[in-house]
Amino acid sequence: MRSTLLFTLLWLVGGLGLSAAPLVWQDAAFLYTDANRQKLTIAGKSARLVVPEDPAKPAGAKVDLAVFLLPATTSNPGAPIVYLHGGPGGSSLEHLESPDFRALFDALRQQGDVILFDQRGCGKSTPSFLPIGAPRMEGSTLTTRETFLGYVSDLSRSIRDRLIQAGHDPRQYTIVNSAEDIEALRRALGVAKINLFAHSYGTQLAQTFARAHPASVERLVLVGSRGMDTARKLPAEGDEFLARIAALARADATVGAKFPNLLEILDRVLARLDHAPLAIEMEGPDGKFTLKVGGYALRFIIAKFYLNDPDNFKFLPKLLDELESGRRPWSLVFNLSQVGRGGVSFVWFTTDAASGVSEARNQVIARQTVSARLRDSLNFPFPDINRVWGMTDLGDAFRAPVQTSLPTLFVAGTLDGITPLEQTREIMQGFSDSRLLVVENGGHNSMLRGPGMPAAIAGFFAGATPPEKSTMPAMALMPLVAERK
């Protein structure tokens, strides 16, 4: 009932046609590093969009969203194309560092202005949910699930308390309110409709917006799609994808001879770290320190860094070979540095906690966790982390599949381990005017690198019929370190 009332209220607020102050654009440039490590600039325009933190209380606390515009390169531009980044907790602007996204944005500019904005709590928007100045992980932080959860919970409390002291309400940082931010952006742009290009979690946000404001959308492109009830992943899907990686390893010319059964080696390594965490020397800004990594932390790292894309899982045999042989695990050192940098906004926790999970799916997750090789690490630190944030569940009405006739292109990679192709097909059942472009050998991020992808996506926004398939070269796993004679 609560969620139904919330949707009704937001519909009424949107239906009032409330005006938004036009954006004040300033010439700006984004500095990125190219493949030769040279600093180059992308010219554009920047602005700040101020929106109510609580859409139902326009006079209350405010959120300041960072907006960056890449101007159209055509003399007859169509509706602006708004990019919705993934996460939750990522940053649109940081995608300008990616050559794949830059190529795609350049193609999209041939159809209209491309609008990048950091969602509430993310990137350069304020208030920030980034763990800035967080204490580094200590020696025992990663020994067990409990110690890891304690560390993440302590960081969450510090961010939560900082926000509350500054007059903000973390409970307002949900996907539903982010959808209202997009509508405020559309009004501030002064256009009747916008196109949406979304990736990963951004696809769930795009669906939320399309359901709340269908008249504001012209076309959608959803890449690596997440459903309305898939914020919590099925542990069995992790096992199935690990089995696919094992099969690829067995057939790979570079590692196959040593990895006829990658899963047996993975099980041995996990069992050993469950019994005795591995001490790894790390380099920090104030000197060297040691982290003890247990089996659960390794499961989490595999779940977060190795299951999404060939760009990442090609390193998994190398990682396991390092751990099995007792050599310094350079791959794991790199992953631990990624975890320690803390570049992901903790708005991830408020957003996904509010989005929740249906009881039916939750029961399936509970059953599968018992026997899953990675246990519940695909969903860590949920549901426990909501003890800190106290988010209200948006309810099953929110999690119901979206039904729409809006023209939509779905893009899915056959080697995407976190938003698998079959999940995309399920979501498409509610989209009566949709197309599917399958990228063979494409992963969660690398599918955008498929031959002809920028032109296909840009062409769809122009009304062209997209191809049904793009084929990337077969993946090769990273060679193993040669044994010393």
What per-residue confidence (pLDDT) applies to 33?
87
Q: Give me the tens of pLDDT residue by residue for the chain, a chain 485 residues long.
A: 444 444 444 434 444 444 568 999 999 999 888 888 888 999 999 999 999 999 999 999 999 999 999 999 999 999 999 999 999 999 999 999 999 999 999 999 999 999 999 999 999 999 999 998 888 898 999 999 999 999 999 999 999 999 999 999 999 999 999 999 999 999 999 999 999 999 999 999 999 999 999 999 999 999 999 999 999 999 999 999 999 999 999 999 989 999 999 999 999 999 999 999 999 999 988 889 999 999 999 999 999 999 999 999 999 999 999 999 999 999 999 999 888 776 789 999 999 999 999 999 999 999 999 999 999 999 999 999 999 999 999 999 999 999 999 999 999 999 999 999 999 999 999 999 999 999 999 999 999 999 999 999 999 999 999 999 999 999 899 998 655 44
- Residue with token string 């979206």: 402
How many Å apart are CA 151 and CA 423, to the nearest integer?
33
What per-residue confidence (pLDDT) applies to 11?
38
61, 58, 2, 49: which is closest to 22 by C-alpha?
49
Q: Tell me how far the alpha carbon of residue 111 is from its chain's centroid.
A: 26
CATH superfamily of 2-129+173-227+402-471: Alpha/Beta hydrolase fold, catalytic domain (3.40.50.1820)
- In 10 A of CB 61, how many CB atoms? 15
Q: Which residues contact 201 (CB under 8 A, 6 or more apart)?
A: 85, 86, 87, 88, 90, 226, 351
| pTM of the complete model | 0.94
Q: Which residues contact 2 (CB under 8 A, 6 or more apart)?
A: 392, 395
Q: Which two tokens stand for residue 106?
A: 């350049």
Q: Where are the domains of the chain?
A: 2-129+173-227+402-471, 138-153+229-400
Task: Decide if 452 contacts 421 (C-beta within 8 A).
Answer: no
How many Å apart are CA 64 and CA 47, to the nearest integer?
10
Name the average pLDDT for the chain: 93
CA angle 273, 275, 278 (to 5 degrees): 35
Q: Tell me how far the alpha carbon of residue 50 is from its chain's centroid.
A: 24
